[in-house]
Chain A
């Protein structure tokens, strides 16, 4: 299985901050890579697919980059509704594993 390691596991930030979350794959996954946002008690929602493509309806303050083994999710200006847990996922090789999550909390 391809292991996905996210960092940090949690962070505290203020509204308006620029936030960066990273994810590293244990093997190269090209750009078969996705980011999801999950709020408490809710299902995850797709934010970014193919490493850098913004899902329809997702605000442009979210962006993704990377290829191979190292990927980044950036929130350019954190909004109150962005406090949530973020997960990365590779869809290169079955099983399509997820990272452990990064919880973004209010400072």
Chain B
């Protein structure tokens, strides 16, 4: 069974860097999947942050692109999210998910449980 699990600090200071890791089990990160980050501000909808492939290719949301890096670590079978210069607006539950190619489409078929990151001094 494929499982994803987010880990990282639950509290980040304003202007600091949010760093999260998503550990993947039950599947190789080198498979034909796109490893994705999605966030959800409290009481709000879902925001697609970006995705990466095991080759290192990534696609990022233009609204966050200047502040986001998504990397793959094949040796640890995990991928990571770094978001710099955070503000209170970045407070959210952060999910990692697997994008899989089905009929040419790329839905998110497995998700982590999510981790709440609060930006506060």
Measuring CB to CB, which residues of chain A are less than 8 angstroms from any residue of chain B? 1, 31-34, 36, 42-46, 49-50, 53, 55, 87, 89, 91, 94-101
Contact = CB atoms under 8 A, between A and B. Distances in A.
18 contacts: A33-B105, A42-B113, A43-B95, A43-B113, A44-B108, A45-B111, A46-B109, A50-B103, A50-B105, A53-B103, A87-B45, A89-B107, A89-B108, A94-B60, A95-B48, A95-B50, A96-B51, A98-B48
Given A1-B62, A44-B111, A99 B45 contact: yes
Given A1-B62, A98-B47, A36 B104 contact: no
A46 B45 CA distance: 15
Main secondary structure of the interface of B (DSSP, over half): strand
A96 B46 CA distance: 11
- Please report whether the interface of chain A is mostly helix, strand, loop or mixed according to DSSP: loop
A16 B83 CA distance: 45
Best-buried of A33, A46, A91, A97 by chain B (most CB within 10 Å): A91
A88 B45 CA distance: 11
A32 to B, nearest CB: 5
A50 B104 contact: yes
